[in-house]
Chains A and B, each alone.
Chain A
């Protein structure tokens, strides 16, 4: 075979691979209700709502997107089985990339989305929320916690705390429970999530009189070696280290601190969720890590037990906060849509959006991630934060 021909075949193979990569990302829509009410036999009056979502199903943040998708799918099945409003759920992969999120959003609009169950992570959510605001689609994000997602947009709501809330919530929690005298912070200063939480944490800590003895940073380019940051915290005598970051760098910090023989109390926020399910991670390193999260899988309420059981049966692992957020989003949308009498057959997405916004700002919702949740007109949720601690490789309520 001559070289040119070989090269051409190689290029063709590359193209096939890239196509496969595209199609691998998107997901099959969940069919409405199984068994007793097949789609064809639905009475004409049945309300069908198309819910679109985007999130990282592949890429470095895939654990979050997959969890949200799994949680939402369970909720969609349950909702559809109730026989009222039927949800058709479609989640597109955005790989935690704002540009891909834009494409995913457009794909959902073409698909005929009526409302959107947000985008899972903050940076891409900033893009999709801006689009949904301009196009007037109702938008509820399970876990994009940056304030930039909701700022100045009346139809964008969050199921999770905003970053500022996580920072000030963590400071309040640490202060109320006397968890640390001297606090150090390691944060990622090229990341809006990490920076947002750190800023409000420092502000609140100042108000509460917590002593911050060290502040260390890293960036995307320097997220491998943390030996200097760790020893700076150690030298400053910090007995609690606050880690407002995702679990991937956090796992390296825990590993390197262990090698350096440094064992303060580690305090993380929702991005830490997922550290226990990393393949090959030695969970004993995370022993004693405290995570501020509105959800813990060991909660004994019937609602949660049912969810955990279904999740384990279906996906073979214990659900994390993101799965619970996804589940809650679907139920909150179900509740609002039922009470507001949403019907895409007679309403366009702008009318749906207005009705949902009015409903969301006035209703109270009980879910897995908190009881009596309410939403402000700025899109933030108010619910009580909770802290869990990692013991024997599992989250335990404190």
Chain B
């Protein structure tokens, strides 16, 4: 297989990381918190879609919408119950709560849906198209297209709408934003709603590309995607996209040309080097802490 083919399969893996990383980075950028439960919201989205589409045979489009609705509600509920009461608490408390929510979701999924792995039927045909000697699967193309569309929509939303402006204000200074008459709580809730809706899409695409679904499906890709978000500059939406794609490509090229045994070591080695040179990540804005 040629270099280009490895590149394409890397892009396919990377696009899944990227779409998950978008959710991470959006919530971090605005609410300034690491939502470690993001990976598990992805898992819930994938399960909802699995039941709607595979079990009850609903239209794939409706299944995805349903998954998004459920995840959006879940995101809002999680935010209201677990994170909002801690708004004034130190960020470490929120971080630990997020990890708790992550385990809670995994264990609830275990309880409701059992641990037996389910095989997720791809929402689009599991076929490939030949482009100039390269085999690219439809799901890869779909994931990249969806990823770019989401990236553009999110950037436009945040930069051009009133709510987006409120989000940027909250992100810069919560206290000042409140004094200016911005409803901080609603703004953060909306951020979570959007982030969780994105998680549902990510879950469906993740499981369409790699069709095993278990209650822990979201956790490892979640961590990889978090890495991707940091790599690209956490808080930056194009950064998450770039970071995700690069992470997937580096991982696959390392596997192909160096060794499958140390591919992860190489990926994280690159991450360390990037962060040493550019501590804010590839596209992150360097911030100066006021002491």
Residues of A within 8 A of B (CB): 3-4, 6-7, 10, 14, 17-18, 20-21, 24, 56, 58-60, 62-63, 95, 189, 216-225, 227-229, 231-232, 234-235, 248, 251-252, 255, 259-260, 278-282
Could you tell me if A227 and B117 are in contact, using CB atoms closer than 8 angstroms? no
Asked if A278 meets B116 with Cβ closer than 8 Å, knowing A224-B220, A227-B12, the reply is yes
Q: Mark B82-124, 1 if CB is under 8 A from A, else 0.
A: 1011000000000000000000100110110011111111000
Task: Determine the distance from Cα of A282 to Cα of B118 in the docked complex, in whole angstroms.
Answer: 11
Could you tell me if B111 and A251 are in contact, using CB atoms closer than 8 angstroms? no
Residue of A nearest to B261 (CB): A217
Cβ contacts under 8 Å, B153 to chain A: none
Contact of A225 (CB < 8 Å), options: B13, B85, B120, B214: B13
Residue of B nearest to A258 (CB): B126
Q: Mark B123-147, 1 if CB is under 8 A from A, else 0.
A: 0001110000001010000000000
Could you tell me if B214 and A60 are in contact, using CB atoms closer than 8 angstroms? yes
Could you tell me if B255 and A252 are in contact, using CB atoms closer than 8 angstroms? no
Could you tell me if A231 and B81 are in contact, using CB atoms closer than 8 angstroms? no
Could you tell me if B260 and A216 are in contact, using CB atoms closer than 8 angstroms? yes
Could you tell me if B116 and A21 are in contact, using CB atoms closer than 8 angstroms? no
Could you tell me if B81 and A10 are in contact, using CB atoms closer than 8 angstroms? yes
Cβ contacts under 8 Å, A24 to chain B: 111
Q: Give chain A nearest CB distance to B256 CB in angstroms.
A: 5
Asked if A222 meets B264 with Cβ closer than 8 Å, knowing A232-B256, A259-B128, A260-B135, the reply is yes
Residue of A nearest to B8 (CB): A227
B59 at interface by CB-CB < 8 Å? no
Residue of B nearest to A280 (CB): B119
B5 at interface by CB-CB < 8 Å? yes
Enumerate 30 A-B pairs (CB-CB under 8 Å) in ascending A order: A3-B84, A7-B81, A17-B104, A17-B107, A18-B107, A20-B111, A58-B114, A59-B110, A60-B216, A62-B116, A189-B261, A219-B264, A221-B223, A222-B251, A224-B210, A225-B210, A225-B251, A228-B256, A228-B260, A229-B260, A231-B6, A232-B1, A232-B256, A232-B260, A248-B117, A255-B211, A259-B128, A278-B119, A280-B50, A280-B120
B178 at interface by CB-CB < 8 Å? no
Q: Which of B108, B117, B221, B261 has the most CB of A within 10 A?
A: B117
Q: Give chain A nearest CB distance to B208 CB in angstroms.
A: 11
Interface residues of B in 199-221 (CB under 8 A from A): 210-212, 214, 216, 220-221
Could you tell me if A279 and B135 are in contact, using CB atoms closer than 8 angstroms? no
Asked if A278 meets B118 with Cβ closer than 8 Å, knowing A7-B85, A222-B263, A225-B210, the reply is yes
Task: Determine the distance from Cα of A95 to Cα of B215 in the docked complex, in whole angstroms.
Answer: 13
Contact of A251 (CB < 8 Å), options: B116, B212, B251: B212
The binding surface of chain B is classed by DSSP as helix
Residue of B nearest to A285 (CB): B119
Sorting the interface of chain B by its residue count into under 10, 10 to 19, 20 to 34 or 35 or more gives: 35 or more
Q: Which of B82, B110, B116, B223 has the most CB of A within 10 A?
A: B116
Task: Determine the distance from Cα of A231 to Cα of B5 in the docked complex, in whole angstroms.
Answer: 10
Could you tell me if A17 and B264 are in contact, using CB atoms closer than 8 angstroms? no
Q: Give chain A nearest CB distance to B122 CB in angstroms.
A: 10
Cβ contacts under 8 Å, B81 to chain A: 6-7, 10
Could you tell me if A62 and B114 are in contact, using CB atoms closer than 8 angstroms? yes
Task: Contacts A10-B82, A279-B117 known; list 6 others, CB within 8 Å.
Answer: A3-B85, A59-B115, A224-B220, A252-B211, A255-B211, A280-B121
The binding surface of chain A is classed by DSSP as helix
Contact of B118 (CB < 8 Å), options: A219, A221, A280: A280
Could you tell me if B85 and A63 are in contact, using CB atoms closer than 8 angstroms? no
Q: Give chain A nearest CB distance to B109 CB in angstroms.
A: 11
Asked if A229 meets B255 with Cβ closer than 8 Å, knowing A224-B220, A234-B1, the reply is yes
Cβ contacts under 8 Å, B54 to chain A: 280
Cβ contacts under 8 Å, A17 to chain B: 104, 107-108, 111
Cβ contacts under 8 Å, A18 to chain B: 107
Task: Determine the distance from Cα of A255 to Cα of B213 in the docked complex, in whole angstroms.
Answer: 14
Q: Give chain A nearest CB distance to B3 CB in angstroms.
A: 12
Q: Give chain A nearest CB distance to B130 CB in angstroms.
A: 11
Cβ contacts under 8 Å, B110 to chain A: 21, 58-59
Asked if A62 meets B119 with Cβ closer than 8 Å, knowing A4-B85, A228-B260, A229-B255, the reply is no
Asked if A218 meets B1 with Cβ closer than 8 Å, knowing A17-B111, A20-B111, the reply is no
Going nearest first, the 7 A-B pairs with the smallest beta carbon separation are A280-B119, A227-B9, A231-B1, A228-B255, A224-B210, A281-B119, A217-B260
Task: Determine the distance from Cα of A220 to Cα of B172 in the docked complex, in whole angstroms.
Answer: 38
B252 at interface by CB-CB < 8 Å? yes
Task: Determine the distance from Cα of A3 to Cα of B88 in the docked complex, in whole angstroms.
Answer: 14
Task: Determine the distance from Cα of A232 to Cα of B119 in the docked complex, in whole angstroms.
Answer: 25
Residue of A nearest to B135 (CB): A260
Could you tell me if A225 and B9 are in contact, using CB atoms closer than 8 angstroms? yes
Cβ contacts under 8 Å, B12 to chain A: 225, 227
Cβ contacts under 8 Å, A279 to chain B: 116-119
Q: Give chain A nearest CB distance to B112 CB in angstroms.
A: 10
Interface residues of B in 211-242 (CB under 8 A from A): 211-212, 214, 216, 220-221, 223-224
Cβ contacts under 8 Å, B118 to chain A: 278-280
Task: Determine the distance from Cα of A17 to Cα of B135 in the docked complex, in whole angstroms.
Answer: 47
Asked if A251 meets B13 with Cβ closer than 8 Å, knowing A189-B261, A224-B220, A231-B1, the reply is no
Contact of A218 (CB < 8 Å), options: B223, B252, B260: B260
Cβ contacts under 8 Å, A3 to chain B: 84-85
Could you tell me if A251 and B119 are in contact, using CB atoms closer than 8 angstroms? yes
Task: Determine the distance from Cα of A219 to Cα of B104 in the docked complex, in whole angstroms.
Answer: 25
Interface residues of B in 166-220 (CB under 8 A from A): 210-212, 214, 216, 220
Could you tell me if A252 and B210 are in contact, using CB atoms closer than 8 angstroms? yes
Cβ contacts under 8 Å, A282 to chain B: 119
